[in-house]
Amino acid sequence: MLIKLPKPLHARESEVTDRDTWLSRRRFLGKAARGAGLALAASSGGAGAFLAGCEPAAVTAGDSDGQFSLGDIKANKRYLLPDTTTEKAAATTYNNFYEMGVLKSDPRENAHLLKTKPWSVRVHGLVNKPADYQLEDFIAPQQLEERIYRLRCVEAWSMVIPWVGFPMADLIGRVQPTSKARFVKFTTLLDPSMLPGQRTPVLDWPYTEALELKEALHPLTLLTVGMYGEILPNQNGAPLRLVVPWKYGYKSIKSIVDIEFTERRPLPSWTQAAPNEYPFYSNVNPSVNHPRWSQARERRITNIPRGLDAIGALLEPKIETLMFNGYPEVAELYRGMDMTRLS
Ligand SMILES: Nc1nc2c(c(=O)[nH]1)N[C@H]1C(S)=C(S)[C@@H](COP(=O)(O)O)O[C@H]1N2
Ligand SMILES: [Mo]
C-alpha cells in the first residue's frame, strides 16, 4: 500500500491546508497498525559494525563526479554508538533536500542535476582571514575522519550515519574570527537549473542556517564531505555539508557555498518560515513537542522503508528520543536556558 501525504510533513504551517485531515488519518493508521500487530521494527545488529577493521580506511570516490579524493580517513572511535548503523541504501534514498523536491524520493531522482565541480566556498564576515576557496583547497589542510552520528529529523524519524569530515572548529581556527563574531551563517547554493525545487517558493531560497559561534566551535560540529567512506552523494548535500548531531536535522545544511561570521543573530530559512515551529536553537528535546506533533519518540530507519513516505514514521514502533539526541556533553552550551519550551 502506498500512502501519499497531501503535503510534506515538514512543510511550513501556512502551506499545510489539509492538516486536520492528515492528523486524523495519522491517528487512524497508528491504531490500525497496532491493532494488526504490524512489526516493521528495524532489525538490530552489531554495534558500530560499519567500522570493523577500518582504521585507517583507504577509500575511493563513490558515485560522485570524482572531483577530489577523500584519501586516508581516520576512524574516530570516540563517537562510536551502540546503535545499528543505517544502511547506505536507506540514507541515500530517503532524504530531505527541498531544493531537489519535497518528497523523500525526490532528492535521489534529481540528484544528477547538481554539478559539484567546480565548487567554491566563500568564508567571510568578521574574520581576519577571509577567503574564496576551491573545494579541493578548502579540504586539503584537513585530516578527514569518520564519525558515526545519530541524525534526528524534526519529523520524528532518525538514522545513524557514518560521516566523513573534519571539525568546524578547525576551519574557525584557520580563518580566525574577530572578537566581534558571535554567530556563523551557512548558505546553500542558489541555482534553480541544478536545484529545481528552488523554482517553487516552499522556503525563501537560498536555504540558510546558523549557529552561535560557541556551538560551531563545539567538537561535535562537523563539516562533512563524505558518508559511508565515500564522497557525499548529491542528495545528501554534496560536496560540503554541515552536521550538528544534537540539533534537529534541518540545522545540518547541505551543499554549502558561503560561511559568514556575524555579530548579529542570522535568521535561518526554517526559522523565518515558521518561528514557532523551527526556532533558532532547535536542540533535540523529547520533552518539548513540535506544535503539531510529539517529539518524545522517533522511528529509527535502518533499512529502506518500503512503499512508505514520511507517513511511514507513524506505522512503526518508535524508540525514545534522547535529550540532545544522546549528546549530553553539549548541555554546557545552554546553561541558564529554559529547556522546557521550544527555543
Ligand atoms: N539545503 C538544505 N539542507 C537541508 C535540507 C534541505 O531541504 N535543504 N533538509 C534538512 C533536513 S530537514 C534534514 S532531516 C536533513 C536530511 O539529511 P539527509 O537527507 O542526508 O538524511 O538535511 C537537512 N539539510
Ligand atoms: Mo528534517
Q: Distance from the CA of 253 to the center of ligand 1, in angstroms?
A: 6
Q: Break the chain into its structural domains and give their ranges.
A: 13-334
Reported pTM: 0.84
Domain 13-334 adopts which CATH fold? Answer: Sulfite Oxidase; Chain A, domain 2 (3.90.420)
Statement: residue 5 has pLDDT above 90:
no
Atom of ligand 1 nearest to the CA of 98: 7
Distance 8 CA to ligand 2 centre (A): 11
Per-residue pLDDT tens digits for 71-125: 899 999 999 999 999 999 999 999 999 999 999 999 999 999 999 999 999 999 9
Q: What percent of the chain is predicted at pLDDT more than 70?
A: 77
| Residue environment code for 137-165, b if the CB has 16+ CB neighbours within 10 A, otherwise e | ebbeebebbbbbbbbbbbbbbbbbbbbbb
Ligand 1 mean position to 96 CA, how many Å?
5
Query: Strand 157-167 and strand 208-212: pairing?
Result: unpaired
Q: From CA 319, how far away is CA 246, in angstroms rounded?
A: 17
**Ligand 1 atom with the shortest distance to the CA of 10:** 12
CB 236 within 8 A of CB 254: yes
Distances from the Cα of 335 to the Cαs of 47, 182, 219, 286, 331, in angstroms? 32, 17, 18, 18, 7
Residue to probe by mutation, ligand 1, list 86, 95, 96, 150, most atoms within 8 Å of CB: 96
Is the CB of residue 329 less than 8 Å from the CB of residue 251?
no
